[in-house]
Every structure is written in C-alpha cells, then in structure tokens.
Structure 1
Amino acid sequence: MLYKEIHIGKFIKERVDENEITIERICKFLGKDEGAIEAMYDSKSMDTDLLLRWSKLLEYDFFRLYSSHLILYAPPSAINKSQQKSEKTPYFRKNIYTQEIKDFIMKRILSGEMTQSEVIKEYSIPKSTLHRWLQKSDNVNG
C-alpha cells in the first residue's frame, strides 16, 4: 500500500468490497443515499466525523493511513524539533513505526524496488533501525 498519495474514497471502496458490505447497510449506517455513498468513493478527502463512521462500519482505522504518511513523508527536522518544544506544540516522532509501515518498507527492499540506502534517505529511517528490521526478517524467514 502506498502512503504518499492518499485517496481515501478508493481505500474505503476497496475495504467495502473486501468485506462485501451491502450498499443498503452502508446507507442505513451513514444515513446517506446511494448517490452520496458513490460520491464518497470518488472523494480524495472527507470530513473526519464521516471518516470515523466509516472506520467503525468497516472495522478499520482509516486515520492510520494519514499517520503512516506523516511518519514516512513528513518527519520533523532537527530545527523544527527545537522550535516545537519551545512553543509547546505537538510534534510527530518518527521513531514510532507501525507494523504496516515496517512491512511496507521491508517489501520495497526485499522486492528490489528500493535499496537500503534509498530507504534511509527517502524516509529518514535510521540505519540501525533498518538493520534491526532486516535482522528480524532474516530470523523469521531463516
């Protein structure tokens, strides 16, 4: 799953198809008609309250897609960290990797799509962290 470009409607439609949820059930749960549901499938973004309802209906945390995007594509820089601490604003720690992110990264390396150095550069993952993941992968597969 690619986290760089998030089209939430497509992800929702995919999950609906996987779970074989009927349009009638969706309409009833969300209080919308079929046309509105179809329009949501075409939407690149949507209101958070609505996304929360979809998450409950489909038993999937769609917000995780956005968290994964932040971890992979918007890690805080050293300058921003010091500013954020002094301003008491929240900042996103890049050292919290979900299993989905680890799997995504490992799949890209093991398939040859990216090299280890490309992953380190593109996603700002520390070399030692990546090597630990690779070691665990070898232990599981070996």
Structure 2
Amino acid sequence: MDFKNIHIGKLIQEKVSENEVNILRICNFFKAGEEQIYDMYECHELSTGILLRWSKLLEYDFFRMYSQHLILYAPPKSTDSNTKQNKKSELPQFRKSLYTKEMIDFILEMIETQKKTKLEVIQDYNIPKTTLYKWIEKSKR
C-alpha cells in the first residue's frame, strides 16, 4: 500500500469488489445512480461525509489511510521552546503512534529491501527504536 499517494476511489472500488457488494445496494445506500457511484471510484479525493458513508457501508475505516499518511509523512512536532506552550485544545487528542499491520509491513519491507536503514526509519518516521526492534523480532518468527 502506497500511503504517500492515496487514491481513495480506487481503494473503495477494491473493497467493494472484495466484499462483493451489489451495485444496487450501493445505489440505494447513497440514494444515487450507478453513474455517480462509478464517478466516485474515479475520484482521487472524496468529502468526509461521503467517505464516512463508504466506511459504514463497507465496514472499513478509510480514514485510517490518511492517519497512516500523517504518521509517515507529516513533519515531526517542533521542539522549539517558543512554540505554543501547553495550550489546551477543545478538540479531542489522539495518540499519534497508531501503527497498522499494513504500515508495519511497509516499514519492514523498506528495511528488508534496503531502501532505508533502521536508523533512517527511526529518524524519518519518528518511530521509537525499541518499537522498531520489536517489529523486526516479531517478523522473524
């Protein structure tokens, strides 16, 4: 899975195919025609409301793709002391370290194929050293 370039329409189409969901069921769920559904499959991006409905219909969290993108490709937080110090947000706070099986496999594959060293992975993706070594150890089993 390429978390850098997410084509959400293709991913949805793939999940529809895997689950063998009938196009009529999809049309009824979205109250839309077949052409509109096929247009969604071609979209690189979809609104969050539509993506939420797809997630419910297919029982799959498509938002997780974007979370993985943020974990892998968003710049790390600044440690500069001049940043907004301990300002409380009204928005819920989430753990950033949410690693899916796909993401772990992606990182381990980069190490195995020598696209990145262990040190580069730790630095580039801000993954704790102990976490990475636990993944490597488990993958050897």
Q: What TM-score does the superposition give when structure 2 sets the normalisation length?
A: 0.82
- 2:21 corresponds to which residue? 21
3-state SS, counterpart of residue 121 of structure 2: helix
Where structure 2 has 5 or more consecutive residues not aligned to the other structure, the ranges are none
Which of 112, 119, 130 is equivalent to 2:121? Answer: 119
Distance in structure 2 (CA, Å) of the matches to 1:60 and 1:132: 27
Task: Return the structure number with greater helix share.
Answer: 1
Matched, 1:40 2:40: yes
Would the aligned equivalents of 1:76 and 1:94 in 2 still touch at CA under 8 Å? Answer: no
AA aligned opposite 2:9:
G
Would the aligned equivalents of 2:76 and 2:126 in 1 still touch at CA under 8 Å? Answer: no
- 1:104 corresponds to which residue? 106
Residue 8 and residue 117 in structure 1: after superposition, are their counterparts in 2 closer, same or farther (change >3 A)? same
- 2:7 corresponds to which residue? 7
CA offset at residue 121 of structure 1?
Answer: 3.5
C-alpha offsets along residues 49-73 of structure 1, whole Å, 9 cap, x if unaligned? 1111101111110000011111111
AA aligned opposite 1:66:
Y
Distance in structure 2 (CA, Å) of the matches to 1:14 and 1:25: 16
Residue 96 and residue 84 in structure 1: after superposition, are their counterparts in 2 closer, same or farther (change >3 A)? farther
How many corresponding residue pairs?
Answer: 139
Residue 32 and residue 24 in structure 1: after superposition, are their counterparts in 2 closer, same or farther (change >3 A)? same
CA offset at residue 117 of structure 1?
Answer: 3.0
Distance in structure 2 (CA, Å) of the matches to 1:100 and 1:110: 15
Would the aligned equivalents of 1:76 and 1:92 in 2 still touch at CA under 8 Å? Answer: no
Residue 82 and residue 30 in structure 1: after superposition, are their counterparts in 2 closer, same or farther (change >3 A)? farther
Distance in structure 1 (CA, Å) of the matches to 2:76 and 2:95: 7
AA aligned opposite 2:45:
S
Matched, 1:30 2:52: no
CA offset at residue 109 of structure 1?
Answer: 2.2
Q: What TM-score does the superposition give when structure 1 sets the normalisation length?
A: 0.82
AA aligned opposite 2:47:
D
AA aligned opposite 2:41:
Y
Residue 50 and residue 85 in structure 1: after superposition, are their counterparts in 2 closer, same or farther (change >3 A)? farther
Would the aligned equivalents of 1:76 and 1:93 in 2 still touch at CA under 8 Å? Answer: no
CA-based RMSD of the aligned residues comes to: 2.4
